[in-house]
Each structure stands twice: as structure tokens, then as C-alpha cells.
Amino acid sequence: MLLQERTSVAAHHRWRWVALAALLVAEAMNLLDATIVTVAAPVIHADLGGAESDIQWFAAAYTLPFAVLLVNGGRLGDRLGRRRVFAVGVAGFALASVVCGLSATADMLTVARAVQGAASALVIPQTIGLIRAMFDGPDLARAMGSIGPVMGLAAICGPVLGAVLTHADLFGSSWRAAFLVNVPLAVVVLALVPFLREDRAVRPPRADLPGTALVVLGTGLVVYPLIQGDTLGWPLWTWAALLAGLGVLVGFGLHQRRRARRGHDPLVEPSLFRDRGFPAALTTSTLFFAATTGLSVVIVTQVQLGMGSDVLVAGMTLLPWSCGMALASWVAGTRLVPRHGAKVMFAGLVALLVGLVSAIAVYGMSDPVAIRWPLVAALAVSGVGNGLFTVPFFTTALSRVRPHETGSAAGLLNAVQQFGGTLGVAVLGSAFFHTFATGTRANAAPVTASLDAIQLAFWLAVAMIAAVVVTASLMLAPARTTEHQTS
């Protein structure tokens, strides 16, 4: 009898790690999908046709619903059970991937991408809760520690995998394989779902449907004109939509404060904004990920549309950035941050600015062939700066958050990160396409026009990162009162 119990315990212990693998595959699948599509987007546009702004929508249609529904995804897990919501999200993601792979028009693909983003908002918030339900003690630390390396590997592999799958043209599938690859991964994850332990909150928070509607409407009104405005010639209604979106987001903030005063569960804890450090962190996250995510789209687009290179070359162009980011993240997490703390953020920002300015200089060279190797070095330095910044940033952003605010703060930070990426694709992408189109209409060669366009996008990113230096400094400012720290 004792032997049977020991065997059962050992088997349970092994299957916990198998279940963890399912969670990590699901996390990596979502990150891979975003980076794969970034590389394949120009090829998709060439095949399906449509406006050039569709290239931006292939990315933004995914990240926007992911951002605005992320907190709600976590709340659903609290109420209905994290394993159940996780399984529904993975299944929805797989079905949406099939529709993406079979899309016949750009509009059909954009809608399917939005469904993918909504499904991801159900999957990602459940991961940490499920890990905590399955592990404790040293095993919990090891399980949580596995997330970073897996995400780093996914960040490296995403552009390469997207390029290889699209270039390989498996069975004549071209870019469609970049979406269909999600299906076998999702099937494996769903097969392992029974080994996850169900988990839900002891006191599930109430849903805030009006708050959700306000944040979806507000962000949509802001992002849509930013992407479509240049294509449409910036008519008056685009500016009106922008102002209306900002007004709706202000209304969302007032709604959250009123809901908290009435004793209801808000999507966002208003108390987070009593100390200037956390609002500064939100602004920092928005600007930083707007710059870095927007640049990733612009870089691969310039290689394909401007330089006339194929998708494989475009994917490899992002590899130095991804490798530099993964290596710097590991060094920062294991060595630098434990010794130097938040100071590492600013070292990362300096490295990133050096890399971006160097890339601008490289793109200004007259010989397109001569820029290849200098560009590799500039993008690698930029990636190192990216990795050095992100590790201490999240730790610093949550350092003054009180225990009961942690869930809301973490969800909001992740949501703002995704929204910043969407905003960056809209702003930097629109600047690139406007300058590129203006240059080609003036009879400039596509290479010359694209180099001018990408320099402008990089200068905008430099301005954003310079602003991040200021907002990151505000994150470290002393709290206004001691009441916030002790209450």
C-alpha cells in the first residue's frame, strides 16, 4: 500500500512538469504568432492585396483586443476556473488560426486576427495562477523561472520561423503556414489540459461590463484613425475620433473610481494612482513598447518593400536584435539586477539610444549593400538595450504596489504593454508608409524612399525612448506620503 502511494506521488510529480510544459507552449505560441506575422505581413499583403495600412492591421488587430481584454481574461479565470478558461482560450486560438490560414481577403484575415487576440487574452492571464496551483516551495521557484528563458527563445525563433515557413512554401501554402503551425501546437496543449489542476479565486471579482465596453471603445477610437488616417487623407472625422477616444478613456477612469467608491470590483484599482510611481510606469511601458514593437514591423517592411529582399532575409534582419535582447535579459536577471537594481534600466536605455542612433546613421549610407553588417551591429546593440531595460523595469514597476493591488497592477502593466505595441505599429508604421509613398510618388527609387522613411521612423523611436528616460526617473521618485506605504 505504501509503495502504491509513493508510486502515485512520483507519477503526480512527473505529470506536473508535463502540465507546466503545456502552459509554456501556450505562452510561447502566442508570442511566436505575433512575431511570425510581423515578418510575413508584407508577403500576405502582396498576396491578398488591399491598402498598405493592412500591413499594420495584421499586427494591430491581434494586439489591440489582447490588450483591452487581458484583465477581463484574468477575471474570468478567477470566476469560472483557470483551467477551463485556459482550455477555451487555446481552442479558440486554434480555430482562429485555421481561419487566418484559409483567409481569402485582407479583411477576413484582420477579423480572424482579432479573434486570435481575444483568445490570447483568455490564455495568458491563467498561466501564473495555474503554476501556483500545481507547485510550491523550491519547485514553484523553478517553474516560475522557466517562463523567462522560454519567452526569450520564442522571441528569437519567431522571426526566423516565420521567415522559414513562408519562404519554404510548404505544399504551396506560402504565408498560410505561419498561422497553421499553431494548430498542432494547440492540439498538444489541449491534450495535456486534463493534467492541469483546476483553480479559481476564493472570492471571485464581479464582472465590469460597462468598464470593458468603455476601454474597448476608447482604445479603438484612438488606434483606428492613427492607422487609417494617412491612407484616407486625414479627414475631419479621424481627428474627431481621436479626441472622442481620449474622452472615452477619461470616462473609463472616472467610471473605475466611482465603481470602487460603491464597493464594487473595478477592472483597475484606483489606489494604484495615488503614488506617482505607478502612473509613471504605465507611461514608460506605453512609450517603450510603442518604440520597440513599432520598429520591428518597420524594419522587416523596409527590407521587403524597399530593398526588394525576400521574407527569409527580412526574418534574419531581426535576428541580431532578438539575440541581443535574449542574452542581455539573461545577464540582467542573473547578475546585474541583483547587484545594481533599477540602475540597470538606465544602462539599457543608453544602450538602446546608441543602437537606434547608430542605425539611423547606417540607413543614411548611400550604398544599400554596404549597410548590411553595420546594421547587424546597430540592431544587436539595440537588442541588448532592450533586454537590459525590460528585466528591471517590471520589478521596479511593482516594487511599491501593495499586496491587494498586485493582480490589478500586473494585469494593467501587461495590457498597457500590448496597447503600447499597437500604438507603435500605428504611429511608426504610418510615418514610414507616408514617407515611403511620398518618395515614390516623387520618382525616387524604392530603396532611397524606404531608407528616408525608416530613418524618420527611427527618429520618432529615439524621441519616445528619450521620453522614457524621464518617465523611468519618475518611477523612482519618493512616494508623496507615507500613508500609501503603510495603509
Q: How confident is the model at residue 251 (pLDDT cuts 50, 70, 90)?
A: very high
Q: How much is the pLDDT for 12? A: 53
Tell me which of 39-43, 63-67, 270-274 is least confident: 270-274
Whether pLDDT at 409 is above 80:
no
Q: How much is the pLDDT for 188? A: 93
**Between the ranges 53-57, 103-107, 149-153, 328-332, where is the mean pLDDT highest?**
103-107
**Between the ranges 162-176, 307-321, 461-475, where is the mean pLDDT highest?**
461-475
Same fold, 1-198 and 268-476: yes
Tell me which of 198-212, 243-257, 340-354 is least confident: 198-212
Q: How much is the pLDDT for 13? A: 63
The residue among 131 and 185 whose pLDDT is bigger is: 185
Supply angle C-alpha 130, 133, 137, rounded to 5.
120
Cell for 391?
528585466
Separation of CA 71 from chain center? 14
Mean pLDDT of the chain: 84
What's the average model confidence in pLDDT over 169-183?
84
Whether pLDDT at 407 is above 70:
no
Per residue in 469-485, pLDDT tens?
A: 999 999 987 765 544 44
HEC per residue, the chain: CHHHHHHHHHHHHHHHHHHHHHHHHHHHHHHHHHHHHHHHHHHHHHHHCCCCHHHHHHHHHHHHHHHHHHHHHHHHHHHHCHHHHHHHHHHHHHHHHHHHHHCCCHHHHHHHHHHHHHHHHHHCCHHHHHHHHHCCHHHHHHHHHCHHHHHHHHHHHHHHHHHHHHHHCHHHCHHHHHHHCHHHHHHHHHHHHHHCCCCCCCCCCCCCHHHHHHHHHHHHHHHHHHHHHHHHCCCHHHHHHHHHHHHHHHHHHHHHHHHHHCCCCCCCCHHHHCCCHHHHHHHHHHHHHHHHHHHHHHHHHHHHHHCCCCHHHHHHHCHHHHHHHHHHHHHHHHHHHHHHCCHHHHHHHHHHHHHHHHHHHHHCCCCHHHHHHHHHHHHHHHHHHHHHHHHHHHHHHCCCCCHHHHHHHHHHHHHHHHHHHHHHHHHHHHHHHHHHHHHHHCCCCHHHHHHHHHHHHHHHHHHHHHHHHHHHHHHCCCCCCCHHHHC
Whether pLDDT at 9 is above 70:
no
Q: How much is the pLDDT for 91? A: 96
Whether pLDDT at 141 is above 70:
no
Q: How much is the pLDDT for 201? A: 67
Q: How much is the pLDDT for 2? A: 42
Q: How much is the pLDDT for 8? A: 46
In the chain, the percentage of residues whose pLDDT exceeds 70 is 90
Q: Using alpha carbons, list the distances in angstroms from residue 78 to 29, 85, 224, 377, 384.
A: 23, 9, 32, 45, 37
Q: What is 1-198's CATH number, 3.90.1580.10, 1.20.1250.20, 1.10.1380.10, 3.10.20.30?
A: 1.20.1250.20
What's the average model confidence in pLDDT over 92-102?
95
Q: How much is the pLDDT for 139? A: 77
Whether pLDDT at 343 is above 70:
yes
Q: How much is the pLDDT for 273? A: 81
**Integer Cα distance of 340 and 331 in angstroms:** 12
Q: How much is the pLDDT for 191? A: 93
> What do you get for the CA distance between the two ends of the chain, in Å?
52
Q: How confident is the model at residue 7 (pLDDT cuts 50, 70, 90)?
A: very low
**Between the ranges 20-29, 94-103, 398-407, 415-424, where is the mean pLDDT highest?**
94-103
**Integer Cα distance of 266 and 276 in angstroms:** 20
Domains in the chain: boundaries: 1-198, 209-257, 268-476
Q: How much is the pLDDT for 487? A: 40
What's the average model confidence in pLDDT over 383-401?
85
* Burial readout 360-384 (b: 16 or more C-beta within 10 A, e: otherwise): bebbeeeebeebeeebbebbbbbbb
**Integer Cα distance of 358 and 374 in angstroms:** 9
Largest Cα span, the chain: 84
HEC per residue, 30-83: HHHHHHHHHHHHHHHHHHHCCCCHHHHHHHHHHHHHHHHHHHHHHHHHHHHCHH
What's the average model confidence in pLDDT over 393-409?
73
Map grid coordinates 520618432 to a residue.
460
What's the average model confidence in pLDDT over 84-113?
94
Q: How much is the pLDDT for 479? A: 64
Tell me which of 51-60, 198-207, 275-284 is least confident: 198-207
Fold (CATH) for 268-476: Growth Hormone; Chain: A; (1.20.1250)
Q: How much is the pLDDT for 405? A: 65
